[in-house]
């Protein structure tokens, strides 16, 4: 079997032959009148009409004085038929390969076997490929490193990202139709907050100061509520300097919306409607088989009380138990204990142990105040917060709050978090005094919610790395590639 270098050298020879024949192998423009699927769908109207199609060569088959060139565009595949009177095209074919992009001109026909085709009178080279695409690509590491090859070879992978786009478009459509305004907020922040996460740090030369890549959209969007906006949202990347998992990536797309003059109960119903709309628009159904879980999103979603769940499963009262009792419960349930610095972290680990077996959909409500430092307390149960989380297939898929807008209470909670950070908790929130100042000018009562593309990954049935087009991987130079460019410093 020929090596990659030998195959590439042969294509380089063909490239030189094309140039010597006066054929431009990389022209700047292509002409297309129809997609390949349109040719098939509209055959009755297009038969014998002249068309121009484009695509990537999948196969070339020659039979004496005729040939068939199968090409593929984003919509599908189509056959180009080269008849016996097209000697110029027949002479060109030996210089073409699978993977090349071409443009074909001619009438729409059916061959003797009844296959819809274009009877080409001209084939124009659009791009000469120097590496052949594999017929299949199954190695996971190779697929993730060369995702452009993965998507070119595996249509199901490419279609995944069509659905991902549809997912976010449906989110935008629903929010816009309900009076929300999309406002893009900064990615670089002096003080980052809105979540428990370790941030990435970068440096801005123009100001000679360090900045953090945002871990959340929350605080800038709530500043907009203070500025007079009533319904705002942003969709974009956020960055959390944490390890990879099947449900987490250090960089991912997320959305947060904030709704002035609404409380968490209104927000719960709104978000339930949003999820149903988005998932039906993306997948065409509200009933899913997600791993071992059967999930039906129709109807009203049940609500579970946080403290009651912990009591029922561990016999602990989250509000009165001690850190040592929490650690013992973790140990008894074979959960990680060593990095449990405080009760809030330990209780959260206990909840997540319950969560992993919940099919859902359910809303987890009444989260303890000590677990949610940015949430507003329940007036009738001040030890709990007006917070809700959706759980589906063992995962938390969103966070919803009635937002805290008391500047003095917010400052006190910030100070508490900063003390935890100073004591070594890198994921505790930073004190953002500018945000406190905004609250002193006044922010109306509001509800806010955020979710990430993990929602899409869960319903798509893929891991986090499989769910994004180009996941970050450790940088490596393939030795074969290095050998192809001996004079280039890689």
What DSSP line would sit under 180-224, residue for residue? Answer: -EE----SEESS--SSS-PPPEEEETTTTEEEEE-S-SHHHHHHH
pLDDT average, residue stretch 161-177:
98
Query: What size, in residues, is the chain?
Result: 490
More confident residue, 375 or 446: 446
Query: Mean pLDDT lowest for which of 171-180, 216-225, 328-337, 464-473?
Result: 328-337
Q: Which domains does the chain have, with CATH numbers?
A: 4-127 (2.40.50.140), 153-302+360-460 (3.30.930.10)
pLDDT average, residue stretch 288-295:
96
pLDDT average, residue stretch 132-153:
92
Query: Mean pLDDT lowest for which of 118-122, 208-212, 361-365, 374-378?
Result: 374-378
Residue 54: its pLDDT value, please? 98
Residue corresponding to tokens 């997540």: 352
Residue 373: its pLDDT value, please? 64
Asked if 304 and 364 touch (Cβ cutoff 8 Å), the reply is: yes
Nearest to 186 by CA among 129, 146, 239, 133: 239
- 76-82/116-119 β-pairing: parallel
Residue 413: its pLDDT value, please? 83
- Confidence at 128, pLDDT banded by 50, 70, 90: very high
Instruction: Return d(Cα 229, Cα 118) in angstroms, integer.
Output: 55
Q: Which residues of 72-101 are buried (b: 16+ CB within 10 A; e: fewer)?
A: bbeebbbbbbbbeebeebbebbebbbebbb
Residue corresponding to tokens 């008849």: 83
> Quick one: CA dihedral 114, 119, 124, 130, positive or negative?
positive
H or E stretch covering 345:
helix 343-355
Q: Where are the beta strands (DSSP E) in 431-479?
A: 446-452
Q: What angle do CA 214, 264, 326 make, to 5 degrees?
A: 70
Cα–Cα distance list, 49 to 44, 69, 124, 285, 419 (Å)? 10, 19, 19, 40, 75
More confident residue, 57 or 476: 57
Instruction: Return d(Cα 468, Cα 105) in angstroms, integer.
Output: 36
DSSP label of 481: H
Instruction: Indicate if the pLDDT at residue 193 is higher than 90.
Output: no
Instruction: Indicate if the pLDDT at residue 339 is higher than 80.
Output: no
Cα–Cα distance list, 290 to 38, 162, 295, 435, 461 (Å)? 35, 20, 7, 40, 6
Residue 337: its pLDDT value, please? 82
Residue 476: half-sphere exposure toward Cβ, Cα within 13 Å: 11
Instruction: Return d(Cα 368, Cα 50) in angstroms, integer.
Output: 69
Q: How far is CA 466 from the centre of its chain?
A: 9
Q: What is the dihedral of CA 323, 326, 332, 338, to 10 degrees?
A: -50
Percent of the chain exceeding pLDDT 70 equals 99
Instruction: Return d(Cα 361, Cα 452) in angstroms, integer.
Output: 17
Instruction: Indicate if the pLDDT at residue 426 is higher than 80.
Output: no
Residue 374: its pLDDT value, please? 64
pLDDT average, residue stretch 245-250:
91
Mean pLDDT of the chain: 94
Q: What angle do CA 453, 404, 272 make, to 5 degrees?
A: 40
| pTM of the predicted model as reported, rounded to 2 decimal places | 0.91
Nearest to 223 by CA among 431, 400, 446: 446
Backbone angles phi, psi at 329, to 5 degrees: -65, -40
Query: Mean pLDDT lowest for which of 101-110, 400-409, 418-427, 450-459?
Result: 418-427
């Amino acid at each position: 079997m020929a090596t990659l270098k030998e195959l590439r050298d042969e294509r380089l020879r063909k490239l030189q032959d094309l140039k010597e024949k006066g054929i431009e192998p990389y022209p700047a423009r292509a002409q297309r009148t129809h997609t390949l699927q349109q040719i098939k769908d509209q055959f009755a109207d297009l038969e014998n009409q002249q068309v121009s199609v484009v695509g990537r060569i999948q196969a070339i088959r020659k039979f004496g004085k005729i040939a068939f060139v199968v090409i593929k565009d984003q919509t599908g595949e189509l056959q180009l038929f080269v008849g016996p009177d097209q000697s110029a095209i027949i002479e060109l074919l030996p210089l073409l390969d699978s993977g090349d992009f071409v443009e074909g001109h001619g009438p729409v026909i059916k061959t003797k076997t009844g296959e819809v085709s274009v009877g080409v009178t001209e084939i124009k080279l659009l791009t000469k490929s120097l590496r052949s695409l594999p017929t299949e690509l199954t190695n996971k590491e190779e697929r993730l490193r060369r995702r452009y090859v993965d998507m070119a070879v595996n249509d199901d992978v490419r279609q995944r990202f069509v659905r991902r786009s549809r997912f976010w478009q449906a989110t935008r459509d629903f929010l816009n139709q309900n009076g929300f305004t999309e406002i893009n907020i900064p990615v670089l922040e002096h003080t980052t907050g809105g979540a428990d996460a370790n941030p990435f740090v970068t440096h801005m030369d123009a100001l000679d100061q360090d900045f953090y890549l945002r871990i959340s959209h929350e605080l800038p969007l709530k500043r907009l509520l203070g500025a007079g906006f009533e319904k705002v949202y942003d969709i974009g990347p956020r960055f959390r300097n944490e390890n990879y998992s099947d449900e987490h990536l250090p960089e991912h797309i997320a959305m947060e919306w904030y709704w002035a003059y609404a409380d968490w109960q209104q927000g719960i119903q709104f978000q339930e409607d949003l999820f149903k709309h988005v998932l039906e628009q993306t997948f065409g159904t509200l009933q899913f088989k997600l791993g071992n879980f059967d999930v039906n999103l129709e109807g009203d979603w049940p609500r579970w009380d946080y403290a009651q769940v912990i009591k029922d499963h561990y016999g602990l009262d989250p509000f009165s138990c001690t850190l040592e009792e929490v650690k013992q419960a973790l140990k008894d349930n074979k959960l990680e204990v060593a990095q449990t610095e405080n009760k809030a972290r330990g209780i959260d680990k206990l909840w997540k142990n319950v969560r992993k077996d919940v099919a859902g959909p359910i809303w987890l409500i009444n989260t303890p105040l000590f677990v949610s430092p940015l949430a507003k307390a329940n007036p009738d149960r001040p030890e709990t917060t007006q917070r809700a989380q959706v759980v589906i297939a063992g995962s938390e898929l969103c966070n919803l709050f009635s937002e805290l807008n008391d500047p003095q209470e917010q400052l006190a909670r910030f100070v508490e978090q900063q003390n935890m950070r100073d004591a070594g908790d890198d994921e505790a929130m930073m004190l953002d005094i500018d945000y406190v100042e905004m609250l002193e000018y006044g922010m109306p009562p509001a509800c806010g919610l955020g979710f990430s593309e993990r929602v899409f990954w869960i319903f798509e049935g893929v891991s986090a790395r499989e769910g994004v087009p180009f996941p970050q991987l450790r940088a490596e130079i393939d030795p074969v590639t290095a050998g192809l460019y001996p004079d280039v410093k890689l």
